[in-house]
Structure 1
Amino acid sequence: MKLNWNVNANGKEKSRIGARGTLKVFGLLMVVLLLMSGCAASEPAEKLYVYNWGDYIDENVLDEFETEFNVEVIYDTYATNEDLYVKLKQGGTPYDIAIPSDYMIEKMIREDLVEPIDLAQISNFTAIDDRFKDLDFDPGNKFSVPYMWGTVGIIYNTAMIDEEIDSWNALWDPKYEKQILMLDSQRDSIAVALKKLGYSINTKSLEELEAAKAALIEQKPLVLAYAGDNLKDMMIGGEAAIAFCWSGDAVYMISENEDLAYVIPKEGSNLWFDNIVIPKGAQNVEMAHKFIDFLSRPEIGQKNAEYIGYSTPNKETLALLDPEISGDKTAYPDDADLANLEVLLDLGDFIEAYNRVWTEVKSAR
């Protein structure tokens, strides 16, 4: 609570106050001081700086955390893992919490950009399904706690496309010229091209990477836009017919437009995980642990899963979800649907080749 003061600096009236006026002024000052004391007591004692993907948390959850722990959450967002990495790598940022993806967590661990997590302080870690623990990018969950997971696939408008889509090749089909949306995301877009060609999304073959570049440049005249969060609105509004997207976004889009359908292409795709980390140099590590534990509560996970549309790794949260949600194959595919999927890995120094390829794709005419 803030009090705005308007002070009259004209001293001519002061001499006319008198004793009774002085008592009134003193009493008024006491009231104001009491009010200020009450306001000060209710103001958050601490701050927690959170850096997250856009539209990736129920804001009511943040309000609940602030109230319960008497803390002010300072919340910023980013659009890609690479944006997050650059911000944290530069240093000087105050973030206590971030939520990167698998390969970026692996990279941040290797470069000493994250603090270790004391799982003894995360009482709700037991609610996380064992399938999402101890994964290759963070063995033993020494540096991260699962937040959400999902797949990458194709979303298309069945009112605009009269065939069943099942292949990445559909994003290269000339009959959908200027009706195709691609994500403005380096690893994801290159991964789509690699899978289309039958290669691993983690290839370190320059020949295969150059073939992916050629495919993306060949596709570029067909692409309406390389989009970010606006991809959702464009697909919902029928501004485009087909796009590749993350499964959680597909859940939301389908809920807003019943003509939309989502498919994991037959060539395979990306299975991804977003985990919560504490960036190196965080100023409020104790409160960061409380926030991670809070987000891992089953009922808080339920609010987030219902709001975001992405898949929860929390088995107790999953049990709380409406069967219509937990039974949605877009968000919770069968194990057989996941068999041909890969997790993005940290490529080390070879990422520079990916950076070059993406720059050349974006600058191609």
Structure 2
Amino acid sequence: MARWNKEGLLQPIDTKRIKNWDSIFPVFKNLPDIQAGDGKVWMVPWDWGNTSILYRTDLVKNPEASWNLLWDKQYAGRMATIDAVHDTPIVAALLAGVNPFDMTPEQMDKVAEKLREQRPLLSNYTTDMTSVEQALASGQLVAAMTWNASATSLKKQGVPVEFMKPKEGMLTWACGFVMLKDAKNVDLAYDFINSRLDADSGKYLIQAYGYGSSLSTAFAGVAKDELDKLQLPADPEVMLKTTIFTGPMKQNDDVAKMFEKVKAGG
């Protein structure tokens, strides 16, 4: 978002035109770089969730609750990870004892080495969660880095999986809606945002996909026992006490280049 804004691609969104703005959790209203001043924002938060390891409980017996599972040689060729700079490199940094969001060149070398250790153990790098879910269901994969929705989907299908709570911390993220500077139908854009930022829409997001809504009113419609099964607290602040909230990476471009080099065998 900050990069798009810097390049002049966005126009601010007037929160007075967002009907449920007051129901958005404060933690999301105060995301980095979101405020545009004068009651306007660069992004309207919509959903949030976690990135972690989804593993087959019948094929991986009592693993340590750690991201190290995705570096376990006994499962070589049967693991997958997300092909994104804000996912796998962050985990490698955590395991290397490095701050993922601000690295020196020497620290980046440590992260690169950790990623090189993992590369030959992986089936693939991917963002295709449908293929990952199918591979986990068939047993082709025994563990993979995924998001909440994959865990929710496979559990509904009766596949024996668990969404791990690594001791190093899950990765928590938040997404939302921006408005392009040259948007031709601004009124329709506001209508669309408001339709998605609705309590019933948020409730469906929670129950169907296991993602969190940015609205406190959406959580009010979901029973606590159901939230517990989805591993979602009714207040994201509770989750953030034990997870890593992914934010801007100061060396984002350098980390991205390093990750591409490692994936290519460098």
Q: Compute the TM-score of the two structures, normalised by the length of structure 1.
A: 0.66
**Residues 228-265 of structure 1, C-alpha deviation per residue, up to 9 Å, x if partnerless?**
22212222332211111223332223322441001221
2:240 partner letter: L
**Match for residue 307 of structure 1?**
208
Alignment match, 2:8:
112
1:209 and 2:105 aligned: no
Stretch of structure 1 that moved more, 261-270 or 150-159: 261-270
| Greater displacement, 246-255 / 215-224 | 246-255
Q: Bigger shift: 350-359 or 329-338? A: 329-338
Which of 143, 149, 153 is the aligned partner of 1:248? Answer: 149
Give, in whole Å, the separation in 2 of the partners of 1:131 and 1:172: 33
Q: CA deviation at 1:188?
A: 0.9
Q: Which amino acid counterpart does residue 292 of structure 1 have in structure 2?
A: I
Once the 2 structures are TM-superposed, how far is the Cα of residue 324 of structure 1 from its aligned partner?
A: 4.1
**Inter-partner Cα distance in structure 1 for 2:219 and 2:2:** 27
Equivalent position to 2:132, from 209, 225, 231? 231
Quote the residue 1:339 is aligned against.
241
Partner Cα distance (2:19, 2:42) in 1: 16
In structure 1, C-alpha distance between the alignment counterparts of 2:164 and 2:237, rounded to whole Å: 15
Q: Which runs of 5+ in 1 are unaligned?
A: 1-104
2:88 is matched with 189
1:161 CA displacement = 0.9
Residue 90 of structure 1 corresponds to none
Q: Which one is further off, 304-313 or 163-172?
A: 304-313
How far 1:174 sits from its partner (Å)?
A: 0.8
Residue aligning to 1:46: none
Q: What code does the residue aligned with 1:196 have?
A: L
Contact residue 148 and residue 209 of structure 2 kept, 8 A: no
Relative to total residues, which structure has the larger helix share, 1 or 2?
1
| Structure-2 change in CA distance of 1:289 and 1:336 (3 Å) | closer
Q: Could you tell me the percent identity over the aligned residues?
A: 23
Amino acid paired to 1:129: F
The answer to whether the 8 A contact 1:125-1:293 is kept is no
Q: 1:335 offset after TM fit, Å?
A: 5.2
Alignment of 1:306-325 (within 5 A): 306-325=207-226
TM superposition shift of 1:295: 1.0
| d(CA) in 2 for partners of 1:337, 1:135 | 16
Q: Partner amino acid for 1:120?
A: K
- Give the Cα–Cα distance (whole angstroms) in 2 for the partners of residues 322 and 111 of structure 1: 43
Structure 1 counterpart of 2:191: 290
The structural deviation recorded for 1:291 is: 0.9
Letter in 1 for 2:144: A
Alpha-carbon separation, structure 2, partners of 1:163 and 1:248:
23
Larger relative CO (CA 8 A, sep 6+): 1 or 2?
Answer: 2
Superposition RMSD in Å: 2.2
The amino acid across from 2:10 in the alignment is V
| Aligned partners of 1:236 and 1:257 also within 8 Å | no
Task: Tell me the CA shift for residue 271 of structure 1.
Answer: 1.7
Q: Shift of residue 322 of structure 1?
A: 4.4
Unpaired segments ≥5 residues, structure 2: none
Aligned counterparts of 2:229 and 2:24: Cα–Cα separation in 1 = 20
Tell me by how many angstroms 1:355 deviates: 2.2
Q: Distance in 2 between matches of 1:302 and 1:285?
A: 26
Equivalent residues of 2:179, 2:189 under 8 A apart: yes
Q: 1:280 is matched with which residue: 158, 181, 206?
A: 181
Q: How many Å apart are 1:218 and its aligned residue? A: 1.4
Alpha-carbon separation, structure 2, partners of 1:236 and 1:113: 41
Q: Give SS of 1:261's match.
A: strand
1:220 deviation in Å? 1.1
Cα-to-partner distance string for 1:118-167 (whole Å, 9 max, x where unaligned): 11111122222233222223136611111110122111111001123311
2:22 corresponding residue in structure 1? 126
